[in-house]
Amino acid sequence: MAPSPTGEYHIGHIRTLLYNYAFAKKNNGQFIIRIEDTDQKRLVAGAQQRILDVIKDYGLSWDEGPDIGGPYTPYVQTQRLDIYKKYIQELLENNRAYYCFCSSERLIEVRETQKALKKVPKYDRHCLNLTKEEVEEKLKQGTPYVIRMKVPDNEVIVFNDVIRGEVKINTNEIDDQVLIKSDGIPTYHFAVVIDDRLMNITHVIRGDEWISSAPKQVLLYRYFNWELPFFAHLPVFLDPSGKGKMSKRHGSVSARSFLDDGYLPEALLNFLMLLGWNPGDNREFFTLDEFIVEFSLDHLHKKQPIFDRKKLDYFNGYYIRKKSNEELFVLFKKYLPQADSKTITALIPILKERIVKLIDLTEQTKFLFEDVQYEPGLLLQKNITNDLAKAMLNQAKSLLAQIDTFDFSVLQEKIMDMIKTNNWNTGQFFMVFRVAICGVIFTPPVVDCLPILGKESTLRKLDIALAKL
């Protein structure tokens, strides 16, 4: 996997990484992390370390990489510039690449003219036929330049994609790709081919946004007389609506944000396993080790998968419920730092079966630590009148004030007897009572939480509610 440290790691990158990881492990290969930092203008400070950290936090590790080294070190592209010089020189000598001295202003003008004529915008090869002497003179004068790949005219490039089958693209649609930029740093398209070859990469599994670039890379393999790796271009995720690429319209899409929201790494990986692959049957739940055993390129999908957050919630809830109370204690403490050990221990059996992501704990238990602000109208749901709500809360307050031990079974029995005696609708009563105690409509079982809240706080919240009516 070759991250570019130009921002936060996308959840789609983790899916691609997971497939690469599983394929390498299943075939007794090496899983490598290589940092592709050739786009210096877009580099984000600290992004490289954050990417490495989030991959580890998803439970994945690598056999070779920038932090641990390996037989093909260095694993950061800007530390490999001397290597690329050798190969670009070979292309220049074999007339497979050429110097381009065009200014950025001229290139913009050419492209705008082409667009106006409804032509495919690409370099017009102004510098392709410069003589050797002209090139040497410009180099001697220090004229800024890039080095471009010489693309053959009107030739069909054919390669096989493991997912899509045979792919054909005419070279007339391909620009004379820049291989070395004016700062001497290679572009992605050049560096990735050199590195993949030198690192003995046999299979390239990546997102299908790179499929249009593949012919350029195929040409480079041909120019160097190297054997092509196997390509597999994965379809990108669709939004939950099924329309368009997954975007921030439905929440953050960074890999870190899902962990921050309290999705478990094992649930996320299990969910991602099935976004583009299936085992050939109806099984849904896989550990990482089980996935490695089952994974096959033959079962990768052509169709774009929908990133269904409800399905992710389903997986996460399943994995939360599988955890022991001791494991959940650590997780609950992370999201409820204000809660003491006794409170967390009491909350786990109440909430373990109900939450789908750990960040839900913050909102669902907010009433235990503060008086939640709410509008008076919230107490008057389900056709409840002001007088009825007052009567319910006054009697509840009177009843609870007389109970010394706030034990769940005692509280439940006494409250249910009160409801029955007054011939109240149970749903109506608990709607009023829940809002009075919690400040919201949807909460954990409110009576279960009273022993945690305590008698004094419970009575105070009832007084606040009565003052609103």
Amino acid at 128: L
Residue 105 CB neighbour total at 10 angstroms:
8
Per-residue pLDDT tens over the stretch 281-303: 999 999 999 999 999 999 999 99
Residue 441 CB neighbour total at 10 angstroms:
11
* 345, two tokens: 């221990």
Per-residue pLDDT tens over the stretch 178-236: 999 999 999 999 999 999 999 999 999 999 989 989 999 999 999 999 999 999 999 98
Q: Are 349 and 323 in contact (CB under 8 A)?
A: no
User: What is the pLDDT confidence band of residue 248, given thresholds at 50, 70 and 90?
Assistant: low
How far is the C-alpha of 75 from the C-alpha of 242, rounded, in Å? 37
Backbone angles phi, psi at 32, to 5 degrees: -115, 140
Strand 97-100 relative to strand 165-170: parallel, antiparallel, unpaired? unpaired
pLDDT on residue 240: 77
- Of residues 393, 355, 356, 359, the one with CA closest to residue 376: 393
How far is the C-alpha of 148 from the C-alpha of 127, rounded, in Å? 10
pLDDT on residue 242: 61
Enumerate residues 6+ apart whose C-beta is below 8 A from 235: 163, 208, 276, 301, 302, 303, 304, 305
How far is the C-alpha of 338 from the C-alpha of 348, rounded, in Å? 15
Residue 74 CA to its chain's centroid (Å): 27
More confident call, 238 vs 357: 357
pLDDT on residue 358: 97
Which position has the token pair 């690429």? 245
- Span 243-267, average pLDDT: 83
pLDDT on residue 274: 97
* 216 in active site: no
Q: What is the DSSP letter of 440?
A: S
pLDDT on residue 238: 86
How far is the C-alpha of 450 from the C-alpha of 460, rounded, in Å? 12
How far is the C-alpha of 469 from the C-alpha of 465, rounded, in Å? 7
Q: Which of 86, 168, 243, 248 is catalytic?
A: 248
User: What is the pLDDT confidence band of residue 241, given thresholds at 50, 70 and 90?
Assistant: low
Amino acid at 57: D
* 85, two tokens: 């010089």
User: What is the pLDDT confidence band of residue 445, given thresholds at 50, 70 and 90?
Assistant: very high
- Of residues 29, 48, 30, 31, the one with CA closest to residue 40: 48
Q: Are 207 and 237 in contact (CB under 8 A)?
A: no
The C-alpha angle 62, 14, 250, rounded to 5 degrees, equals: 160
Helix (H) or strand (E) holding 81: helix 81-93
User: What is the pLDDT confidence band of residue 22, given thresholds at 50, 70 and 90?
Assistant: very high
pLDDT on residue 28: 95
* 90, two tokens: 């070979």
If phi over 0 gives left and psi between -120 and 50 gives alpha, with beta otherwise, what is residue 431?
alpha
Q: Are 99 and 135 in contact (CB under 8 A)?
A: yes
pLDDT on residue 266: 98
Residue 421 CA to its chain's centroid (Å): 54
* 235, two tokens: 């379809």
Structural domains in the chain plus CATH codes: 81-234 (3.40.50.620), 324-355 (no CATH), 365-468 (1.10.10.350)
Give yes or no for residue 249 having a pLDDT over 80: no
Per-residue pLDDT tens over the stretch 81-121: 999 999 999 999 999 999 999 999 999 999 999 999 988 89
- Of residues 365, 341, 326, the one with CA closest to residue 448: 365
pLDDT on residue 42: 92
Q: Whole-number mean pLDDT of the chain?
A: 94
Give yes or no for residue 331 having a pLDDT over 80: yes
pLDDT on residue 413: 96
* 99, two tokens: 């110097």
More confident call, 340 vs 120: 340
How far is the C-alpha of 220 from the C-alpha of 180, rounded, in Å? 14
Amino acid at 171: T
